[in-house]
């Protein structure tokens, strides 16, 4: 028991917390132990961030007790963290952590933070690099417990990969709030569910959590049915024999048993967003063709020579680092920004609806939810269709009468999405639609877009969302945009392998590289005006195909090794059993030794292949 106690970092016992009349959680108990990697999930407004504030001492329980390990060192990454933008990164890290430069050299390498970046003021850095510097400061302080409140919001995929690798190899316990199932799957080994007024801890990955929760509910329902059947039997007995003198005492005894039998409390399933997108009814092809477009603002150029084709049925994910020009590209496709040069054409049948990152903030504060959705829908749309969509976005009953100004960020984002989805457009352009949406709404939106009959062009860093929706990838990098010829898994794998020209010094050299690229492009354009390059850039396309082919070859080899290992292990067990009856059989011993050597060699190769794939 002493050893178990020493592993405990904090324990909540019978904890209760309310805001006004809303109970966030009641009589909840859980503990967090050393070396646990805990994903914290639950709907928006369930109390996840409040729980973090209680753990850090910035808020208090209404009832219950929170006990922490003596001298527990904690660090927290907050959603609204304010940074001293005038400080350089290195000074910020040292001031926040108290660490010396020589103590953080390895950590800077792990976070891909070169000297040229950390010596610059924070105000000059992208959001991804600011996040890395904050993480470096927190980890350098060597906390026992690290709290991460939605760190994946607004991060580009490169920084997500860096964060993921850091957490996988981190030597401290952490609690991580995230709505990205893939990110949780790779980084956590426990799940803390904050939902329906309770907090429950589950061992295992996010996939284990869903399986355990389903099995637990099935078991509770089965037990409840058994209890209710037993109760009904007792009631039937009492009703049948209660009036008979010979059976009256037995009937009363049975009724007393009934009073002692407890009912099984099965909480209703949480309200899940089931988003139904009206299918477009506009006939004709939905094509978007870009040839050598140049995009920018005023004299500042963001993208040059961007070429790609989007055809009917495509669901296109636009990926790349923060600040690379993804939002500029979708704004242009949506018709909100004209190209400086080049050709950007849409087929006549295209009817476009555009969701931008700022849309939720622009909703009229004094209007109600139903007013906003009704104004967005066609005049011919039935009122019930509007109410159904509102319900699918978790606005039911009197919720549709709430004023926009009284909604949370997540609720406003759902209203803004509702406006787009009700439009009946055949081309949906969505710039970061998943930010501020909870776990369940993100997945519901992904499945709805997957089955949508029109086209979707979107920007998102949520890996599960992209994998569910995307059928085509456009990469924005090095000042241009091209089709990535491979799956999203291929793209992520190529980033991990460092095979896509990634250079951690890119940000410090951007302006110089852009000027050089501009001169080269101008020269190329003057020489090749009559013969424009094909969309996708042939050399890059061939290299990306090689990456995808290599990955498929390695996945095939992994499967072959697993099959061979299974057969060898069966042979090994059989020969070992035979050897028990013939211990002096030299031939059998030699075969057994040879099998053991082959198994060892295959296991070594298998581990090497898996490391290449990871």
User: Which of 353, 356, 390, 396 minimizes the C-alpha distance to 373?
Assistant: 390
- Residue pair 571/597 in contact by the 8 Å Cβ criterion: no
- Kindly report the three-state secondary structure assignment for every residue of 184-219: HHHHCCEEEEEECEEEEEEECCHHHHHHHHHHHHHH
- Kindly report the three-state secondary structure assignment for every residue of 561-578: HHHHHHHHHHHHHHHHHH
Low-confidence winner among 223-232, 452-461, 558-567 (lowest mean pLDDT): 223-232
Residue 50 vs residues 53, 192, 385, 403: alpha-carbon distances, Å: 5, 14, 36, 24
* Angle at 456 (CA atoms; ends 469, 327), nearest 5 degrees: 100
The answer to whether residue 189 scores a pLDDT higher than 70 is yes
Reported as a pLDDT band with limits 50, 70 and 90, residue 303 is very high
- Kindly report the three-state secondary structure assignment for every residue of 213-278: HHHHHHHHHHHHHHHHHHHHHHHHHHHHHCCCHHHHHHHHHHHHHHHHCCCCCCCCCCCCCCCCCC
Q: In the chain, what percentage of residues exceed pLDDT 90?
A: 30
Q: What is the pLDDT of residue 119?
A: 92
Phi, psi values for residue 177, rounded to 5° = -90, 125
How many angstroms from the chain centroid is the CA of residue 262? 40
Low-confidence winner among 3-17, 207-221, 427-441 (lowest mean pLDDT): 207-221
The answer to whether residue 154 scores a pLDDT higher than 90 is no
Reported as a pLDDT band with limits 50, 70 and 90, residue 224 is low
The answer to whether residue 534 scores a pLDDT higher than 50 is no
Q: What is the pLDDT of residue 3?
A: 43
DSSP 110-129: HTT--HHHHTSBGGGS-HHH
Token output for 51: 């729980």
More confident residue, 318 or 424: 318
Burial, 191: exposed, middle or buried (Cβ in 10 Å; 0-12, 13-18, 19+)?
Answer: buried
The answer to whether residue 294 scores a pLDDT higher than 90 is yes
Phi, psi values for residue 239, rounded to 5° = -70, -35
Q: What is the pLDDT of residue 130?
A: 87
Low-confidence winner among 297-301, 310-314, 549-553 (lowest mean pLDDT): 549-553
- Residue pair 444/271 in contact by the 8 Å Cβ criterion: no
More confident residue, 567 or 445: 445
Residue 77 vs residues 69, 81, 592: alpha-carbon distances, Å: 20, 7, 55
- Residue pair 521/305 in contact by the 8 Å Cβ criterion: yes
The answer to whether residue 343 scores a pLDDT higher than 70 is yes
Cα–Cα distance measured from residue 569 to residue 113, given in angstroms and rounded to the nearest whole number: 46
The answer to whether residue 418 scores a pLDDT higher than 80 is yes
Average pLDDT over residues 523-536: 44
Q: What is the pLDDT of residue 525?
A: 46
- Residue pair 203/190 in contact by the 8 Å Cβ criterion: yes
Reported as a pLDDT band with limits 50, 70 and 90, residue 342 is very high
Average pLDDT over residues 179-198: 89
Token output for 602: 């295959």
Reported as a pLDDT band with limits 50, 70 and 90, residue 442 is confident
- Residue pair 317/488 in contact by the 8 Å Cβ criterion: yes
The answer to whether residue 407 scores a pLDDT higher than 80 is yes
Average of per-residue pLDDT values in the chain: 80
Reported as a pLDDT band with limits 50, 70 and 90, residue 536 is very low
Cα–Cα distance measured from residue 155 to residue 146, given in angstroms and rounded to the nearest whole number: 19
The 8-class DSSP code of residue 368 comes to: B
Residues contacting residue 256 through CB under 8 Å, at least 6 positions apart: none
Q: What is the pLDDT of residue 607?
A: 61
For the chain, the residue count is 614
DSSP run (H or E) holding 444: helix 439-451
* Angle at 28 (CA atoms; ends 24, 34), nearest 5 degrees: 115
Average pLDDT over residues 389-396: 82
Residue 549 vs residues 51, 103, 546, 609: alpha-carbon distances, Å: 46, 41, 5, 15
pLDDT (tens digit per residue) in 596-609: 777 777 766 766 66
Token output for 350: 């295209």
Q: What is the pLDDT of residue 256?
A: 65
User: Which of 43, 63, 29, 38 minimizes the C-alpha distance to 194?
Assistant: 43
Residue 200 vs residues 41, 76, 272, 438, 577: alpha-carbon distances, Å: 10, 22, 19, 18, 46
The answer to whether residue 15 scores a pLDDT higher than 80 is yes
pLDDT (tens digit per residue) in 56-103: 999 999 999 999 999 999 999 987 788 899 999 999 999 999 988 888
Reported as a pLDDT band with limits 50, 70 and 90, residue 348 is confident
Cα–Cα distance measured from residue 560 to residue 255, given in angstroms and rounded to the nearest whole number: 65
More confident residue, 451 or 553: 451
Cα–Cα distance measured from residue 398 to residue 403, given in angstroms and rounded to the nearest whole number: 11
Average pLDDT over residues 105-132: 87
Residues contacting residue 99 through CB under 8 Å, at least 6 positions apart: 93, 140, 141
Cα–Cα distance measured from residue 424 to residue 447, given in angstroms and rounded to the nearest whole number: 18
Q: What is the pLDDT of residue 237?
A: 65
Average pLDDT over residues 431-454: 85
Cα–Cα distance measured from residue 308 to residue 466, given in angstroms and rounded to the nearest whole number: 19
Average pLDDT over residues 220-238: 69
Residue with tokens 């195909």: 545
How many angstroms from the chain centroid is the CA of residue 585? 58
Q: What is the pLDDT of residue 217?
A: 66
Low-confidence winner among 173-187, 354-368, 543-557 (lowest mean pLDDT): 543-557
Q: What is the pLDDT of residue 586?
A: 63
Q: What is the pLDDT of residue 246?
A: 52
Say if strands 37-41 and 190-195 run parallel, antiparallel, or are unpaired: parallel
Token output for 323: 């600040």
Q: What is the pLDDT of residue 242?
A: 57
Say if strands 37-41 and 145-149 run parallel, antiparallel, or are unpaired: unpaired
Average pLDDT over residues 239-262: 61
Low-confidence winner among 19-28, 205-214, 372-381, 491-500 (lowest mean pLDDT): 491-500
Q: What is the pLDDT of residue 575?
A: 76
More confident residue, 34 or 360: 34
Cα–Cα distance measured from residue 551 to residue 557, given in angstroms and rounded to the nearest whole number: 10
Give the highest mean pLDDT range of 317-331, 551-565, 571-585. Answer: 317-331
């Amino acid at each position: 028991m002493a050893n178990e106690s020493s592993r405990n970092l904090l324990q909540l016992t019978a904890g209760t917390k309310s805001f006004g009349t809303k109970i966030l959680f009641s009589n909840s108990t859980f503990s967090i132990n050393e070396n646990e990697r805990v994903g914290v999930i639950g709907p928006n407004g369930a109390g996840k961030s409040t729980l973090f504030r209680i753990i850090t001492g910035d808020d208090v329980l209404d009832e219950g007790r929170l006990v922490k390990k003596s001298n527990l060192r904690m660090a927290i990454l907050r959603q609204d963290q304010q940074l001293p933008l005038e400080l350089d990164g290195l000074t910020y890290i040292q001031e926040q952590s108290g660490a010396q430069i020589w103590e953080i050299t390895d950590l800077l390498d792990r976070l891909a933070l070169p000297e040229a970046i950390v010596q610059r003021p924070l105000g000059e850095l992208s959001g991804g690099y600011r996040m890395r510097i904050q993480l470096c400061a927190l980890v350098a302080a060597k906390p026992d417990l690290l709290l991460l409140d939605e760190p994946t919001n607004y991060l580009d995929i490169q920084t997500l990969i860096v964060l993921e690798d850091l957490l996988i190899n981190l030597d401290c316990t952490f609690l991580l709030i995230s709505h990205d199932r893939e990110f949780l799957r790779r980084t956590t080994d426990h799940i803390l569910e904050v939902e329906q007024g309770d907090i429950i801890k589950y061992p295992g990955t996010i996939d284990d959590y869903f399986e355990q929760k389903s099995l637990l509910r099935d078991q509770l329902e089965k037990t409840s049915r058994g209890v209710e059947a037993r109760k009904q039997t007792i009631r039937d007995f009492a009703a049948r024999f209660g009036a008979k003198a010979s059976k009256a005492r037995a009937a009363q005894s049975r009724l007393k048993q009934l009073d002692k039998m407890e009912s099984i409390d099965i909480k209703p399933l949480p309200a899940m967003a089931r988003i139904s997108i009206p299918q477009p009814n506009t006939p004709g092809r939905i094509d978007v063709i870009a040839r050598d477009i140049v995009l920018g603002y005023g004299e500042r150029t963001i993208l040059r020579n961007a070429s790609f084709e989007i055809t009917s049925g495509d669901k296109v994910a636009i990926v790349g680092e923060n600040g690379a020009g993804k939002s500029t590209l979708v704004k242009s496709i949506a018709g909100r920004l004209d190209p400086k040069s080049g050709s950007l054409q849409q087929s006549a049948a295209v009817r476009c609806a555009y969701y931008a990152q700022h849309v939720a903030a622009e909703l009229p504060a004094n209007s109600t939810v139903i007013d906003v959705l009704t104004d967005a829908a066609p005049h011919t749309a039935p009122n019930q269709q509007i109410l159904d969509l509102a319900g699918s976005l978790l606005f039911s009953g009197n919720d549709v009468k709430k004023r926009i100004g009284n909604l949370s960020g997540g609720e406003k984002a759902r209203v803004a999405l509702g406006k787009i989805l009700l439009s009946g457009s055949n081309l949906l352009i969505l710039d970061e639609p998943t930010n501020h949406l909870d776990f369940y709404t993100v997945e519901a939106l992904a499945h709805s877009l997957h089955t949508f009959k029109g086209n979707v062009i979107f920007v998102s860093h949520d890996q599960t969302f992209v994998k569910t929706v995307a059928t085509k990838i456009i990469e924005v990098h090095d000042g241009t945009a091209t089709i990535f010829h491979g799956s999203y898994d291929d793209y992520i794998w190529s980033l991990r392998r460092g095979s896509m020209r990634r250079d951690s010094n890119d940000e410090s050299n951007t302006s110089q590289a852009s000027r050089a690229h501009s001169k080269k492009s101008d020269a190329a354009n003057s020489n090749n005006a009559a013969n424009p390059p094909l969309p996708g850039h042939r050399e890059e396309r061939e290299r990306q195909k090689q990456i995808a082919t290599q990955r498929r070859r390695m996945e095939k080899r992994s499967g072959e090794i697993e099959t061979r290992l299974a057969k060898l292990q069966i042979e090994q067990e059989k020969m070992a059993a035979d050897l028990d009856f013939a211990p002096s059989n030299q031939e059998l011993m030699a075969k057994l030794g040879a099998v053991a050597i082959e198994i060892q060699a295959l296991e070594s190769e298998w581990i090497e292949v898996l490391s290449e794939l990871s």
